[in-house]
Structure 1
């Protein structure tokens, strides 16, 4: 699930893109930039998500809204190159991207409004790096039975390995 948000700084806007795994709620890709350009802001977040998956996103569904940076040819071509299946909701329906919107809202509530005002895009980028680590490794999520995204993934892979050893 993907979406973009923005943060006002004294030097202009910082635009923030997140790629979130729906199963574990782990932020698997993110980027902060001074531009919304598809080849810069969301593309680098997508490439980070792919890198964390070993360079490919085969068989995964990439869901985003109809924002121009997510429907641009350069971006949709990259999704296909990585092996993912593009998905967009209906125009003007924020409910179909609700999880991504919730991530943005929590980011702004838990970080941006708490630590601002922000001076530069770089300051937002560094704070976002720390926030993403906290989100994935320390923040307890009610949707995950008060576990972290990392704990959920570890439990999933431990179960998969157990299942494979039983059948293998």
Structure 2
């Protein structure tokens, strides 16, 4: 038997961790989870890990490892085929695009092929409709670039003194008071750029799946095949 466990990021569909083994045990899924923790900026209390209710995922060792890294556990309901649908869709894609089209003589050959598929194709080059026809790497890069630009433009500038025009008098026949001139070195109201009041992700359709970005409130979907 040859088993593969993988962890998928809900935000970008990126496979953040995976591991192969000849045994379907807790060490297998711990290896995939450790790979994901190593490759991501996991922050205490800001990551949810979702899986089915397999005995490996309900084990004390696995639950303790999640707790040690501040990861919140989540599990699907018993007998619910949709409880981990995000991960199941990846297994279907992997089998269609790789497994059913090839055969390998040894497990080492199979593991190398899986490495090439996940790290050399799925994460870096395979475009996805849900990501605006981008790969997972391209989607995350676009998100980080957009956030960096938003951080630069979201700095609130102090209101210069004397730049607002007074309320005009009710009687239009009366002479209007002169408009105060901007203080030297400051911008007038009309010249002031519009500072955004909210932060959003890149213009990608559809929007990211219930997440704020890598390293923020997000979810991992874990499964084995």
The aligned counterpart of 1:99 is: 86
Task: Name the one with the larger strand percent.
Answer: 1
User: Is the 8 Å Cα contact of residues 16 and 31 (structure 1) preserved in structure 2?
Assistant: yes
TM-score by length of 1: 0.87
- Number of the residue aligned with 1:5: none
Partner of 1:33: 21
Q: Secondary structure at the match of 2:123?
A: helix
For 2:112, the equivalent position in structure 1 comes to 126
Query: 2:10 aligned with 1:22, yes or no?
Result: yes
TM-score, reference length from structure 2:
0.65
* Matched-pair contact (CA < 8 Å) for 1:32–1:124: no
Residue 57 of structure 1: how far off its partner (Å): 4.7
- SS at 1:143's partner residue? helix
Secondary structure at 1:78's aligned position in 2? helix
User: How many residues are paired up?
Assistant: 153
The offset of 1:165, in angstroms, is 1.5
Give structure 1 stretches of 5+ with no counterpart: 1-12
**Runs (4+) off by over 6 Å:** none
By how many angstroms is 1:167 displaced? 2.6
State the Cα RMSD in Å.
1.2
- SS, match of residue 69 in structure 1: coil
Q: How does 1:1-168 map to 2 (within 5 A)?
A: 13-38=1-26, 40-54=27-41, 56-58=42-44, 59-116=46-103, 118-133=104-119, 134-168=121-155
Conservation of the 8 A alpha-carbon contact between 1:33 and 1:41? yes
Q: Which runs of 5+ in 2 are unaligned?
A: 156-225
**Larger helix fraction of residues:** 1
